[in-house]
Amino acid sequence: MTDFPPGIAYIDGEFVPISEAKISVLDWGLLRSDATYDVVHVWKNRFFRLDHHLDRFTASVSKLRMELPFDRDGLEDILHRCVVRSGLEDAYVEMVLTRGVSPTFSRDPRDAVNNFFVFVIPFGWIADEQQRARGLRVHIASVTRIPPSSIDPTVKNYHWLDLVQGLHEAYDAGKENVFLGDGRGNITEGPGFNIFAVKNGAVTTPATGVIKGITRQTALDLCAELGVETRETEVSEGALKSADEVFVTSTAGGIVAIAEIDNVKIGESTPGAITKKLTELYWTKHSDPAWTTAVIV
């Protein structure tokens, strides 16, 4: 028997325990990774930037030429009901639309019946408490991130084998996480997070070839609020290693400092001053009604 984390799901039109939430092995979401998704988190019973996640999810669905069974209000309603039923105050809420099953196993994606589901599990972190306090030690992988000419990274997708192989490389090198490059000397992203460099008080992050993370956008917004200059541009591996501070952003844990890249220590001490300020402001926003939506019980 498989063990599962606590949680619940909405699938096939029903709410079920997470252990019973399953899709057919014939679902093209598995057999072609033909699917899109989004993850919004709930912190102390409040969704964080829910509208941003819904905007991105519905845009991703359109780009893949799929259709949701609900309009936007219906979608939001299901998310609230899932979180309430989960009983979780701090939760990781993943909404998924797959191409679904074709009754004839036809190879034409237009013949499949799209499959929508949601699952809610406890809030998770890309780094544990100790790692967040001292900063992560990361490896830059030899494998390169799937380029935007092949897969549109603005469609949030499950094409992650490059990131997973990168993780194995990182563990082999005694590191805790991984950054992938674009094969031309620039950095892209890691498994589930965007990457930022701070140099002389200004912040840069890769402009292209990366998911446009909601937490990435949040970091840019918070920089603006703090009067910190930001630029979306190419960020070379060299510039990253010689930055004063490096941090990553993810729905799974917010803003996390990087202490070392390939044995190169980053900055004077970790977390750096700007990373620290952003992290504090990020968590402050979690009780601000302008940034959050209370879960409707």
Chain contacts with a second copy (rule: CB under 8 A) = 2-5, 9, 11, 18-19, 21-26, 28-35, 64-65, 92, 96, 98-101, 103-105, 107-110, 113, 117, 119, 121-122, 124, 126, 143-147, 149-152, 155, 157-165, 167-168, 171, 183, 191-192, 252
Closest distance between a second copy and the C-beta of residue 164, in Å? 5
Residue with tokens 């968590």: 283
Residue with tokens 């033909």: 34
Closest distance between a second copy and the C-beta of residue 1, in Å? 9
Closest to a second copy by CB, 34 or 245: 34
Closest distance between a second copy and the C-beta of residue 133, in Å? 18
Entry field: residues in the chain: 297
Cα–Cα distance measured from residue 98 to residue 34, given in angstroms and rounded to the nearest whole number: 6
Closest to a second copy by CB, 168 or 231: 168
Closest to a second copy by CB, 113 or 294: 113
Cα–Cα distance measured from residue 166 to residue 158, given in angstroms and rounded to the nearest whole number: 15
Provide the pairing of β-strand 202-206 with 193-199: antiparallel
SS3 assignment, position 140:
strand
Angle between helix 273-284 and 214-226 (nearest 10): 110
Residue with tokens 């390939």: 262
Closest distance between a second copy and the C-beta of residue 52, in Å? 21
Closest to a second copy by CB, 75 or 167: 167
For residue 108, CA distances in Å to 62, 67, 104, 105 come to 18, 16, 10, 9
DSSP state of 220: H
Cα–Cα distance measured from residue 205 to residue 193, given in angstroms and rounded to the nearest whole number: 12
Closest distance between a second copy and the C-beta of residue 211, in Å? 14
Closest to a second copy by CB, 173 or 273: 173
DSSP state of 285: G
Closest distance between a second copy and the C-beta of residue 223, in Å? 27
Closest to a second copy by CB, 147 or 217: 147
